[in-house]
Amino acid sequence: MGREIERKFLVKSEDWRARAGSVRRFEQFYLFASDDRSCRVRITDGASARLTLKTGRGVSRGEFEYDIPLEDAENLRASAVGTVIDKTRHHVASGPHTIEIDVYHGSLDGLVVAEIELGSEDEAFERPDFFGAEVTGDADYLNQSLALRGRPQR
């Protein structure tokens, strides 16, 4: 079983931009989503697509990803629940880790979230100054919640 171990933080400043490397644009939507499972389709840079199944809650979750034809992804968009998320992802090197900074657009404009993937739940990492409040485990900041309920009010 694939596992994803990540921690998530709000971003409180633009200090990361000078260190940003590669950039990708994502359009993503959900075919179903509940508290402990979801099925997402993500179109990357308008050129490729992946289907992702996630299970569980918290820091460590099951994650299964599969490439699908772009045309299939575009056809599945009509079956999306909630709104389609539009975001730009920037990669920032931080020691042995890569931090992914998601800058949201459209109805989520102004929301900026950082994620860091870890090898284990207790792995130590350097916390950059631009990290704000930790929102790991806060269901309001899951992408599926953003698609279904919109931007958190806090």
- Within a domain: 11: yes
Give 106-134 pLDDT, tens digit per residue.
Answer: 999 999 999 999 988 889 998 999 999 99
Count structural domains, the chain.
Answer: 1
Quote the pTM value. 0.91
Partnered with residue 21 across adjacent β-strands are none
Task: Report the C-alpha gap between 26 and 91 in whole angstroms.
Answer: 13
> Residues for the chain: how many in total?
154
Q: Is 78 helix (H, G, I), strand (E, B) or coil?
A: helix
Give 67-100 pLDDT, tens digit per residue.
Answer: 999 999 999 999 999 999 999 999 999 999 999 9
CATH of the domain at 11: 2.40.320.10
- Within a domain: 144: yes
Residues of the domain holding 130: 3-149
Catalytic site residue from 30, 66, 104, 141:
30
> Is 30 designated active site?
yes
Give 20-78 pLDDT, tens digit per residue.
Answer: 999 999 999 999 998 889 999 999 999 999 999 999 877 788 889 999 999 999 999 99
Q: Are 15 and 92 a contacting pair, CB within 8 Å?
A: no
Q: Are 128 and 94 a contacting pair, CB within 8 Å?
A: yes
